[in-house]
Structure 1
Amino acid sequence: MDVARDAVWLSNQSVATLVEGLAALASARGDHRRAAELLGAARTLHGYHDQASFDVHRTETAATAALGETEYTAAYEKGRRITREAALALTPDP
């Protein structure tokens, strides 16, 4: 994300793909609420929900199973309110 912040040519699609990667990392670490928020943010940046991505599908499935449909949806919708600038400021949690 540090490199992406300085790359003014980076498209929203590319930023969304990076955010999807952060979502997969959060899920792998067991932070399913953050994963759901990041998937929502990626959808806003993409303009669609990338069902074709294996990582998105796997992350969504794990987060929904861990949180339940209601909590997953609430976290996902919270992530939908992100701006491009806020997405570029994201960092993976240690």
Structure 2
Amino acid sequence: MGSWGYVYAFIELLLGVAFITGSNPFITNAVTFAVVTISIIGVFQTGLNKRKIKCAWLGAVFNLPMSTVTIIEDGLMIAMSGLMLTQFI
């Protein structure tokens, strides 16, 4: 697994902590929107190329592949963070 797989897991962990603690909601939602949008693009490209890659979180431990669940999860996170960003406009 490339270094992004390790970094991505910690970015999501830090974003989760930021959501729980409520620290700087604008930056937390903006970073979530950007990171997950990049992630879903990669998942779509992988699916279109019919390649199998492991889930960034637990793929190395449990051999979980990226799937439709990943796309749904990323889509919901993009919608959530985008909706929350509209509160700041």
Category of TM-score, reference length = shorter chain: 0.3 to 0.5
TM-score using structure 2 length: 0.39
More helix by share: 2
